[in-house]
Structure 1
Amino acid sequence: MTSVAFATTGETGSNGGATLTAHTSADNPAAPYLPKPTGSRPVGTTSLYLKDTSRPDPWVAEADARELMVSLWYPAKSTGKQRAQYMTPMESELLLKDGGITSVPYDTLSKTRTNAFTDTRPAGRKRSLPLIVLSPGFTKPRSVLTALAEDLASHGYVVAGIEHTYESVATTFPDGRVTTCVACEAPDRTETFWKKLDQGRAADVSFVLDELTRPHSKWNGASLIDPSRIAMAGHSAGGASTLTAMVADSRLRAGVDIDGLTHDPIPDGGLSRPFLFLGRQSNFSPGMPSALSWEREWHHLTGWKRWLVVTGAAHASFTDVAILAEQIDLDTGADLPATRSMGITRAHTRAFFDRHLRDKPEPLLEGPSTRYPEVTFCAVETRTCA
C-alpha cells in the first residue's frame, strides 16, 4: 500500500494537498462515473474559448492577452445523444502524474461517465435563469466541479466553470494547445503569491461575466441568464478567490467558500452580501490555526452569513476528486463516503443559492438537520459548533 499526493490543492500549512493511498493496481478498472443530478431537468453542456485582450496574462510575461476556457452547464430542452467528455486523455494523464498515481491507466479519468449532454438546446425564458460561477482549487481543472455543476443545472441554474489558465495542471484549447501549471513554478508561495492568484481570478470572473451578459454573447443561450441573479462558489483557492471577486464585482450577489484558506482580506468597509463558509471539521472549526483566516473575514461580513463544518470530510471530499478516487480504489483520508459528502455539498450550496437568488425559504440553513447530522453550525464568537 503506497501513499501518493493527488495534486496540490493551492493551500498552505495544514490545509495542504489531499493524500490518497493506492490499495490495488488494476489493469482494466471499471470506468468511473459521477452521481446523477438530483433535479428534474436534463442537463446540457458546452465549452467556450474566451480571450481578454485588455490585460496580459499574469503568469506568462510574453502572453499579451488572457485566454480562458469556460464550461457551461444549463437546463436543456431534452437529453441529447452524446454525453459530455469529462476530460481529455492528456488532461487525465497530467492530473494523475501530478498526483504521482501509477496504479491506474493514465487515461482513466477521461472515461468518466458524466450526466450532461453536449450542445443540447438550453431551456428557459429570456432572462429567467440565475447564473453560478464556479472556480476550482489551485492546480485543478474546472472538470473536478462537474458533479456540483450538473446538479445545479438540473435545478434550473446556468453554471460557468472557469479554467484559470496556467494555474491548472492541464488546460486544452480548441486549437489543440495544452497549457500546464506555470504558476506552480513560483519559488515561494507567500501571501503575496496567493493575493496575486486571488486578484487574477477575480479579473477572470469579471471578464467571463462581461462575456456572458453582453449583447451578442458567444454562447447562444446567454439571453436566458438573469443578470440580476449571479453568484459564485469555489473550492480551495477557488473558494478564497470568491471573496476577492465579490469585493471587486458587485454583480456577484452571494458567494460560497468551500474549504479554502483566505489570503486577500475583505476591506475595512466590509462586505454586506450573503456568504457561506463550508469546510472540514479538522481544519475549519473556529479556534483552529487554519481557521483564523475565516475568522478574520467573518468579522468583515456584515450581511447574512453561515459557517458550516462537515464531520469526517477531507479536503477532496467536496469535489469529484473524492468520488473518482473512491471508485478507482484510492483513499483520500476521509471518514465520510464520497457520495455522502457530495450529497452534503450539493444540498447546502443549492439551498444557499435558492435562498439568495430565488428568495426561497431554506430551513436547511437555519440550524442542524436530522438529514445531515454530519453538518454542524459554528458560532464564531464562542468558537463552538453544534
Structure 2
Amino acid sequence: MWRGAARADDDRVTDLLTGPQMSPLEILALLAAVALVAARWLPPGARPPVTIAAGAAFLLSVLVLSVLGLRWQLFPVVAGAVLALPFAVSPLVRRRTGRPARRVRWWLALPGSLVCFALTVTGPAAAWAFPVPVFPEPTGPFAVGTRVLQWTDPDRPETATPEPDDRRTVVAQLWYPAQESPSDTRRAQYLGRTEEEARTVAGALASYAGLPGFLMDGVPRARTHAVPDAPVARGGARFPVVLFSPGLGGVRTQNTAWAEELAANGYLVAALDHPYDSAAVVLADGRTIRTEVAATGDDTEDNRRAAETAGIRAADLGFVLTQLGRLDRGETGDPLTGRLDTARAAVTGHSLGGAAALLAARQDARFAAVIDLDGYPRDPDPRPFRQPVLALTQEIGPATDPRYLPRLTEVLKLSTATSYRLSIPGAAHLTFMDGPLYLPPLPSLVGSLGRTESPRVVAATTLAFLDATLRQQPGDLAGALSEHGELATYRPGSSP
C-alpha cells in the first residue's frame, strides 16, 4: 500500500525547491556561501579553485531559486555570500591583471568573516524554525482520499451580516478510507484546494496570530498524504463519522495529520470551516470570508461572545451531520453513498471547537461520543448529557487558568457515561493541531513533545477512545490512555 513516499513528476520539481528544512538547491547555495566566506582563510594554492567553484555554484543555485521561488530563510545566506564575494574574488582579479594581490591583515578580516558566517548560519536556523511541514505517514490499512464540500442551511440566517437573505454556509473537508492510488498520483495541497487558496489561508493565519506573513510562506508549499477525489475503499464497509471544529481563528485543515491517521484507520473525518470566525474561508465561487472575531479586552464581553460563537458552531456541526446523512442515503448522488455510518458519529474540536463539540453533544443526541482537544467549556447552561467524553489537555502548571480544570470537571461529571480527562506532560495548547510540524519548536508555543511525537500521541489517544466508543472494541481503554499522561476517570454517580 502506498505510504506517501512517491509523488507525481510535477511534485518532484517542488521537492528540489523546498524541503522539510532546506531543499537540495538551498543546501547547495548554503555550502557555496560558506565556502566563499572561508576562502580568505585557505592556503594560497587552494583559494582560486575554491572561490571559482563556490562562486559559480552560488550564483547558479540562487538564480534558479530566484526564478522558481526564493524562500525568505535564504536571504541572510545570500547577504553573507554577497558581502564575502568581493573579498574572495578581488585577489583573483588582481592576479589575472598582473597586479600584486593584497591581503588584509587577519585581525582586520576576522570580524568581517565572522559577520558573513553568522549571516549564512542564520539561514538554516530560520529554515529549522519555520520548515515546510512534512506530514507523518498514516499507519492504518487504508489509503486516504479527500475532497471539499460546501453546504448552505436554508433554515438559518447568517447572523454575521446585515443582509436578511443571507443563509449560513459551511465548508467541510472530508478525509475518508480510499483505494490505493498509483504512485505518481498528485497528493492534496495543504491548507487549500489550490496553492492560491493555501497562500490566502496561510496569510490569514499569520495575520490572525499577529505574525508577518512571510514567516508562513513555507506552509502552502506542503503536500499531504491524501489524494483528492480518490475512489472510496472497496469492500462495502460503512465508516464511523468524526466531525471536527477548529479553534477560534483556526481552519478546517489545521488538524490534517490527525484526520489522515483516522481515515487510514477506517473513519470518515469531516472538518469544518466556520465563516466569519475561521481566519479565512474560501468559498466555491472564489470569495474569501475573513474572521470578524476580535478580543474586546473586556472579559465578560469576550466570554459572552465565545459562548455565542460556540453555539453557532454547535449548530454548524449538527447541520453537517444532517448533510452527511443525506449524502449517505443517496440524496446527493455522492460516491460515499451507503458507506457512512452516521449512527456512529463523534463530535470533536480543538480549543473553542472543543467547546462547540461539548455543546453540540448536549444539544444533539445523534452524536455518540465527544473529543475535546484542550477546549474550555462554553456552554452557558450546562446540563446532563449521555455521551462519553475524552478531554485531552495541555500540561497543567502554574500558568494554567485556575478556572479551567474545575469548569471542565464540572461538565465531564454531567455525562451519564464514563468520561476521561487526560493531561499530557509536555503538551501545550498547539500540540493538539498541526502547529508542531511547522512552527518553532518552543515549549511555550507547541510543547516539548517534538514534531514527530506530538501528532502520534494525539492520534493514539483519540483512536483508542473512538475504537472503544464507536466500534465497541474490547480492551482496557483507561490503561491505554494512562500510558500517555495523567488520567482522571469520571464514572456516573462517582468522584474521579
* 2:212 alignment partner, SS class: coil
* Number of residue pairs aligned between Structure 1 and Structure 2: 357
What letter matches 1:57 in structure 2? E
What letter matches 1:245 in structure 2? A
Q: Does 1:349 align with 2:455?
A: no
The answer for unaligned runs of 5 or more in structure 2 is 1-122, 192-197
Structure 1 residue 124, shift from structure 2 partner: 4.7
Change (3 A) 1:194 1:127: farther
| Aligned mates of 1:34, 1:60 — CA distance in 2 | 37
| Aligned mates of 1:27, 1:290 — CA distance in 2 | 33
Q: Does 1:225 align with 2:340?
A: yes
Structure 1 residue 289, shift from structure 2 partner: 2.7
What letter matches 1:46 in structure 2? R
The aligned residue for residue 84 of structure 1 is 188
Show the 5 A alignment for 1:113-124: 113-124=223-234
The aligned residue for residue 453 of structure 2 is 340
| Aligned mates of 1:280, 1:97 — CA distance in 2 | 25
What letter matches 1:303 in structure 2? A
Structure 1 residue 206, shift from structure 2 partner: 1.3
Change (3 A) 1:365 1:380: closer
| Aligned mates of 1:40, 1:228 — CA distance in 2 | 23
Change (3 A) 1:26 1:149: closer
What letter matches 2:181 in structure 1? T
| Aligned mates of 2:454, 2:405 — CA distance in 1 | 20
The aligned residue for residue 46 of structure 1 is 147
Change (3 A) 1:332 1:27: closer
The aligned residue for residue 48 of structure 2 is none
What letter matches 2:170 in structure 1? L
Q: Does 1:321 align with 2:423?
A: no
What letter matches 1:82 in structure 2? R
Instruction: Report if aligned partners of 1:90, 1:107 keep a CA contact under 8 Å in 2.
Output: no
* 1:282 alignment partner, SS class: coil
Instruction: Name the larger-Rg structure.
Output: 2
Deviation sequence 1:58-88 (CA, Å, 0-9, x none): 3223262011110000000122512111121
| Aligned mates of 2:373, 2:478 — CA distance in 1 | 15
Higher helix fraction: Structure 1 or Structure 2? 2
Relative contact order (alpha carbons < 8 A, sep ≥ 6): 1 or 2 greater? 1
The aligned residue for residue 302 of structure 1 is 416
- One of 163, 172, 177 as aligned partner of 1:75: 177
Instruction: Report if aligned partners of 2:390, 2:421 keep a CA contact under 8 Å in 1.
Output: yes
Q: Does 1:271 align with 2:385?
A: yes
- One of 316, 322, 338 as aligned partner of 1:210: 322
The aligned residue for residue 405 of structure 2 is 291
Calculate the TM-score normalised by the size of structure 1: 0.84
The aligned residue for residue 11 of structure 1 is none
| Aligned mates of 2:372, 2:124 — CA distance in 1 | 32
The aligned residue for residue 132 of structure 2 is 31
Structure 1 residue 184, shift from structure 2 partner: 2.8
Structure 1 residue 115, shift from structure 2 partner: 0.8
Show the 5 A alignment for 1:51-62: 51-62=152-163
The aligned residue for residue 197 of structure 1 is 309
Instruction: Report if aligned partners of 1:29, 1:104 keep a CA contact under 8 Å in 2.
Output: no
| Aligned mates of 2:445, 2:134 — CA distance in 1 | 17
Change (3 A) 1:284 1:140: farther
| Aligned mates of 1:285, 1:344 — CA distance in 2 | 23
| Aligned mates of 1:165, 1:175 — CA distance in 2 | 14
Q: Does 1:243 align with 2:358?
A: yes
Higher strand fraction: Structure 1 or Structure 2? 1
The aligned residue for residue 101 of structure 2 is none
Structure 1 residue 220, shift from structure 2 partner: 2.5
Two-structure CA RMSD over aligned residues (Å): 3.0
Instruction: Report if aligned partners of 1:131, 1:159 keep a CA contact under 8 Å in 2.
Output: yes
Structure 1 residue 123, shift from structure 2 partner: 1.4
| Aligned mates of 2:487, 2:129 — CA distance in 1 | 43
The answer for unaligned runs of 5 or more in structure 1 is 1-21
* 1:281 alignment partner, SS class: coil
Deviation sequence 1:126-168 (CA, Å, 0-9, x none): 5611100011100011111111100000001011001111111
Structure 1 residue 284, shift from structure 2 partner: 11
Calculate the TM-score normalised by the size of structure 2: 0.66
Q: Does 1:100 align with 2:213?
A: no
* 1:352 alignment partner, SS class: helix
